[in-house]
């Protein structure tokens, strides 16, 4: 199979929201969507960085994005952002759940959850739930949830992981579980949407190994600038570009013949290259575990009936 961003169709009239769009994969995803004439909302925690990103995106694409303040580690911020999106327009064609944190020192979200699961999974779970009525009103809408091949490094997840205490925290294990949670959520949303006959597609993507700021963010939070520089240099030497890392997300968001529940990654050993359909682990495909995670997430976020796709 061959594919490039030139194969993305004209997206005039379609509205997209991309989380974590100030740099890296999210920025590159937003840029290509703008280049193909989508109306793009870029959601980010830091309004200064978001404004800077919007200016460069406009200069490169010729089309200006809308900036949305969103902190996925704060459920109140998620609620405010979702309300703003829902009241600004009557449609949402694409929700790309891209933002994330990777392997930071132990932190908790505003609401007391372990930071990686709280941000990477629960924040996106709550955002998707609050935007689901808008997505369901939009014919042919898609939710793209960005995971990682690091989901392969863990063999399960439990409700206790959501509020994992500092004394049992292992940063890479927590990251792997957050990425497993992304896939469990993506596939459960797909099952529920199809069972309800909803005109909504839930799909997943992962970038392989792409050079983004994500690799250095954890050491920076830990106050280790030298380690952050080493990570950054190594990534630039051996990883594919952030633009190439965004290809699976763009393919998942725009490829017309994609099947619901598909998981898209790079073609060469899932490390780099053009997008292709890849397989999650058996654990990620476990429907009972996905149902339990859904229920735990409803309990954690308070997003209940809104996340039940109407029959």
Q: What is residue 268's three-state secondary structure?
A: strand
Sequence-distant (6+) residues with CB within 8 A of 210 are 24, 25, 239, 240, 241, 242, 244, 245, 246
For 264, the enclosing helix (H) or strand (E) is strand 263-268
**What burial class does residue 221 get, using C-beta atoms within 10 Å of its C-beta: 0-12 exposed, 13-18 middle, 19+ buried?**
middle
Kindly report the pTM of this predicted structure.
0.90
Q: Which residues of 289-304 are buried (b: 16+ CB within 10 A; e: fewer)?
A: bbebbbebbbebbebe
Which residues are identified as catalytic? 147, 175, 179
What is the residue whose two structure tokens read 């380690």? 227
- Any idea how long the chain is? 311
**What burial class does residue 236 get, using C-beta atoms within 10 Å of its C-beta: 0-12 exposed, 13-18 middle, 19+ buried?**
exposed
> What CATH code is assigned to 8-214+243-302?
3.40.50.720
CA dist 100 and 112 (Å) reads 17
CA dist 245 and 240 (Å) reads 7
Closest CA to 41 of 86, 79, 100: 86
Q: What is residue 40's three-state secondary structure?
A: strand
Per-residue model confidence as pLDDT tens for the chain (311 residues): 689 999 999 999 999 999 999 999 999 999 999 999 999 999 999 999 999 999 999 999 999 999 999 999 999 999 999 999 999 999 999 999 999 999 999 999 999 999 999 999 999 999 999 999 999 999 999 999 999 999 999 999 999 999 999 999 999 999 999 999 999 999 999 999 999 999 999 999 999 986 655 544 454 454 656 544 544 444 554 667 999 999 999 999 999 999 999 999 998 666 678 999 999 999 999 999 999 999 999 999 999 877 776 65
Q: What is residue 99's three-state secondary structure?
A: coil
What does the domain layout of the chain look like in residue ranges?
8-214+243-302
């Amino acid at each position: 199979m061959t594919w490039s961003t030139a194969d993305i169709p004209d997206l005039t009239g379609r509205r997209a929201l991309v989380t974590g769009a100030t740099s890296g994969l999210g920025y590159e995803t937003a840029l290509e969507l703008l280049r193909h004439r989508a109306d793009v909302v870029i959601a980010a925690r830091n309004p200064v960085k978001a404004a800077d990103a919007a200016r460069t995106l406009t200069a490169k694409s010729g089309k200006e994005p809308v900036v949305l303040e969103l902190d996925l580690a704060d459920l109140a911020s998620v609620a405010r952002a979702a309300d703003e999106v829902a009241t600004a327009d009557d449609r949402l064609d694409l929700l790309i759940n891209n933002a994330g944190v990777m392997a930071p020192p132990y932190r908790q979200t505003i609401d007391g959850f372990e930071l990686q699961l709280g941000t990477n999974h629960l924040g996106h779970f709550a955002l998707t739930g609050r935007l689901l009525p808008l997505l369901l009103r939009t014919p042919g809408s898609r939710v793209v949830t960005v995971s990682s091949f690091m989901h392969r490094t863990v063999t399960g997840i439990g409700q206790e992981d959501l509020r994992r205490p500092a004394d049992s925290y292992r940063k890479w294990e927590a990251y792997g579980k957050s990425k497993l949670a992304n896939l469990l959520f993506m596939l459960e949303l797909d099952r529920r949407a199809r069972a309800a006959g909803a005109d909504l597609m839930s799909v997943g993507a992962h970038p392989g190994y792409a050079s983004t700021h994500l690799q250095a963010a954890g050491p920076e939070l830990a106050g280790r600038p030298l380690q952050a520089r080493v990570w950054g240099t190594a990534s630039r030497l051996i990883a594919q570009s952030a633009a190439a890392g965004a290809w699976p997300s763009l393919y998942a968001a725009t490829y017309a013949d994609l099947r619901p529940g598909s998981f898209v990654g790079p073609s060469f050993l899932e490390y780099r290259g053009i997008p292709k359909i890849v397989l999650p682990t058996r654990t990620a495909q476990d429907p009972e575990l996905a149902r339990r995670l859904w229920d735990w997430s409803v309990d954690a976020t308070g997003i209940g009936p809104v996340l039940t796709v109407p029959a």
